[in-house]
A = this chain, B = another copy of it.
Amino acid sequence: MANRRCTVDDVAKAARVSIMTVSRAMNAMPGLSSETRKRVLEAAERLGYRPSRVARALASRRSSTLGIILPDMTNPFFAILAKAATDVARSSGKSVFIMNTDEDPALELAAIDSLHGEEIVGVIVVGSRLPDRKLLEAVSAFESAVLVNRDCAGPGLGSVNVLDRVGAAKAIEYLASTGRRRIGLVAGPVVATGARRRIAGYRDGLAGSGIPFDGSRVQRCVPTIEGGAEATRRLLAKARDLDSILAYNDLVAIGVLRALEEAGLSVPRDIAVIGTDDVPYAAMVKPALSTVRADIPRLGADAMTLLLALGGEGEVADYPPQVPQVVIREST
């Protein structure tokens, strides 16, 4: 259905200038009489000229496309983050590839790899499931990169974080303050930094409340609703006496709620539940989920702003990690 696209040459001919002049006009470069510039722009407009980003990227060796790699765009946390990030990118005239890894390290590596072929200048990796060495190696081929929620640094490598450890500790301390002592943790996938942080925060909170740590109260899980439900069933089997549960994220917490209901347990009477992130649905389930809130859009916007800055667009500022806040609703 398409017909031949219009190129610089066409515009140059129409405006009776050289292609160089067209290029300069299109890129708003200095050194052009405003008269010629206007003539060129008009010709371009008239012909419906759209510069080929592909050719531009090849010739200038710097594309204007970026990448975001995330475990699962179907998870509202990642969707909201990615949207905020792409909004920032768009206002800088960049396009972005969003790639899902399905929580699979091999796919993650493949995704990063495939981005190399795109002549991409920068990439944001959210919640990487790769071991440090592999991640750093994969990411080092880009001009710039930003890691979200991942503790590892490198040259030209930015990072943006939520203090999940602090958040988890706060949640545990809150639970303890309401008299809960037998607190379980549905921890998420242990390959995720976020899971390790929450486990650490869980122990911090326990210690701070004078409650001994008991490994049988911790259960890893796939970070989905179903994963949360399943982990809860298993947790209930090995630790029957729990009076509360902290969940890896809100999706998992919803799964916890479901499993508890199936088991005939009442929330929060029998067991209190607290999630993490505060996605929009957290407030809508019954009982409304107490949770540890992070500012997800800001996280995404910060990540992209940093990436752009590392790529030379704007000042490289410091983005202090977010301190999550406990939000109390009905589930605790």
Contact = CB atoms under 8 A, between A and B. Distances in A.
Interface stretch (A126-134, A230-238, A280-288): A280-288
Protomer copies: 2
Contacts of A155: 1
Interface in A138-152: 140-145
Interface string A1-39: 110010000000000000000000000000000000000
A74 B76 contact: yes
Nearest to A110: B90
Contact of A2 (B1, B113, B143, B225): B143
A63 B54 CA distance: 9
B50 A280 contact: no
A219 to B, nearest CB: 20
Interface in A32-59: 50-55, 57-58
Interface stretch (A77-85, A181-189, A191-199, A209-217): A77-85
A180 interface: no
A95 B285 CA distance: 36
A96 to B, nearest CB: 7
A254 interface: yes
Given A2-B143, A74-B83, A76-B74, A52 B117 contact: yes
A100 interface: yes
A118 B142 CA distance: 20
A312 to B, nearest CB: 13
Contacts of A145: 1
Interface string A82-105: 110011000000011111100000
Contacts of A264: none
Contacts of A53: 117-119
A25 to B, nearest CB: 16
A157 interface: yes
A154 interface: yes
A251 to B, nearest CB: 9
A50 B1 contact: no
Nearest to A115: B95
30 contacts: A1-B142, A1-B143, A1-B144, A1-B155, A1-B157, A2-B142, A50-B113, A50-B117, A51-B117, A52-B119, A53-B118, A53-B119, A54-B54, A54-B63, A54-B119, A65-B118, A73-B82, A73-B83, A74-B79, A74-B83, A83-B100, A86-B98, A86-B100, A95-B99, A97-B97, A98-B98, A254-B281, A281-B281, A281-B284, A286-B286
Interface of A: 1-2, 5, 50-55, 57-58, 63, 65, 72-74, 76, 79-80, 82-83, 86-87, 95-100, 113-114, 116-119, 140-145, 154-157, 225, 254, 257-258, 280-281, 284-287
